Every structure is written in C-alpha cells, then in structure tokens.
Amino acid sequence: MRTPKAIAGLAIAAALAAACTASPAATPAPTATPLPSAAATEAAASTMPSAAASEAPTPAPTQNACAPANLALKTPGTLTIGTDNPAYPPYFAPSSPDPSPWQLGDPTNQQGFESAVAYAVATQLGFTADQVKWIVVPFENSFQPGAKPFDFYIAQVSYTDARAKAVDLSDGYYFVAQSVVALNGNPLAKVTSISAMKNFKFGAQVGTTAYDAIKNTIAPSTPISVYQTNDAAIKALQAKQIDGLVVDLPTAFYITAAQLVDKNGNSLATIVGQLPVQAGPNAEHFSLVLAKNSPLTDCVNQAISAITANGTLAQITQTWLADKANAPVLQP
C-alpha cells in the first residue's frame, strides 16, 4: 500500500515526463532527397536541347551531274550531235550554200525543226552554239547496237521497243502521224480509206516506222519496195515505180510543197491522207538516240522536260511544223 507522500512523488514525476514529451513548436527533422541514378541523369540530358542541336546543320553543296563539265562526252567541252544526210527540210533548213558535207539542209544554222530542237536541248544542258559539233551518221546506223560516235542523234527516229533494246531513246519531242503521198494522176490520190489501198504498190525508207505502217496498217497485197534513203524513195514515186510513198506528215508537207513540183512551183503530188495515230502515251513519237545506258540520257530527258514546260518546244513546233496542206485522217 502506497502512502500519500509516495503518491504525491509519483504525480510530480508524471507531470515532468509529460512536459518533456509534448514540447510545443517542435520542428520536424528534414528528410534526405535521394540522388538520381546515372541512367536517369542521361535520359534527362537527352531531352534537353543543346546549343549545337539548336543550330540547323549547313547542307553540303550538291554537284550538278548535268553540268557540261560533269558530262561524259565524246569530246570534253563539246556536244557531238549526229544526223542523217541529206538533212531534209522542214527538219533542217538550207544555207546558201550548205557547208560541206551537208545537202538540202544545214544542221549547223539552227534553222528547221530538228536543228532548233537540238540547239534548245544543248542550251538547256549549258552548251553554247559554238560548243556544238554535228556529224553525219546514216539513219539506220543510229539505232544499231554498239558504240556511238555521237552524244545524241536526231533525225526523226520514232520510238519502238525493238530499237530501245539496242540504244537509249529519249522522251518524245514530237508526236507524229504517218501519211501517204501519191502523184496527182495516180488513182491512189482519190482513195479515202485504208481498205481501198490494199492493191496499190507502196514504198518507204528502210528501217523506218513508215515501212512498219505499210506492213501492219495498210497491209498491201503486193510486196513493199524498200529504199536506202528517203530521196531514193521519192525518185521511185516520181518515176511511177510505186503508187504511194509513206512518210511522216511533216516530210509529206515538204515533198508536196517543195520536192515534187513543176517549174512554176505547182505540186505534182498530193497527201492522200494520214494514217490514224494511236492515242495516249504509246503514240508514235520522235526520240533522241543515245548509246545504250548512256550517262547522258537522264540529263537529256530533263532538258526535253524543261523546254516542254517553258514553252520553247511548242514555239519551235509552231514555227517549223505548222500544217501547210490538207491531210485528212484516212478511214479504215
């Protein structure tokens, strides 16, 4: 049993203990913040823009592969262009006199449809007129397999799949129709349909799409006469060895307006009509010829695209190939 004195001592001790454990305005001890790991530090750094990243990189200069100095040419600094000879109008216009070896037309004077096209392509590629050299290459040789003496060739070469296996053929610079020419007094001159032409005798230059048109579209019952040059085929027509000559339409205009005329300039022949043209991207067109897998082909196509887009090609076509004669489309 506890005495009053002892009870009083216990009360004082309890009060002192309570005072020590319930001190007002006690400030809690600060807690330590854990340091980030190395991986977390690297991830955070990757999301923060650096001074170097904020500056746009300077692009490296690109080399113009189609600049004259970078082209793989037959002669460095010179664009060598091949064409056939005689150089027929309206594709080439005559000079007075024509420089050797050119006949009927002069490719070097920048006159005539194909001369003008060639110089427009040359200009687009960065060549001046005095950096262009012309050489004679027979038409059929231009698209045969093998090495070429020219950088490109221009002479009414129509695109065909067979030719494209041996050489590169550019995008089209002229879409063309084949046409039939006959002497005025020949019964063929009065024909209006392809089916009515079957029994007539036709001729064309060897290796041309004109020959293909006779064979595949007209399909005559008599053998087709083939000539090494267009000039020889015209002479055969004039001598009445054939009834009809098939050529592209611009050539037909020239034959009837300038080549087969009397002393007074009156035409001795007529354009019977033009054969139907296949519509769409597969329509017959003239292409520039380049060696197979030529490094120049892409550059030439870019040049053709540029002179098409800026209106130069349309202007050249209007100047040199505007229709000058009636040439109805022949019915089947």
Q: How many CB atoms lie within 10 A of CB 117?
A: 23
Residue keyed to tokens 């892409």: 298
Percentage of the chain surpassing pLDDT 90? Answer: 72
Token digits of residue 80: 């060598």
Gap between the Cα atoms of 182 and 173, Å rounded: 28
Specify the pTM: 0.70
176 Cβ neighbours under 8 A, 6+ residues apart: 156, 158, 248, 249, 250, 277, 284, 285, 286
Give 118's Cβ-side CA count (13 Å radius).
32
Q: At what angle do helices 297-309 and 312-321 cross, to 10 degrees?
A: 80
The two beta strands, 178-183 and 244-248, are: antiparallel
Over residues 152-211, the pLDDT tens digits come to 999 999 999 999 999 999 999 998 889 999 999 999 999 999 999 999 999 999 999 999
CA end-to-end distance (rounded Å), the chain: 142
Gap between the Cα atoms of 94 and 108, Å rounded: 10
Q: Which domains does the chain have, with CATH numbers?
A: 68-175+284-321 (3.40.190.10), 178-274 (3.40.190.10)
Over residues 229-268, the pLDDT tens digits come to 999 999 999 999 999 999 999 999 999 989 999 999 999 9
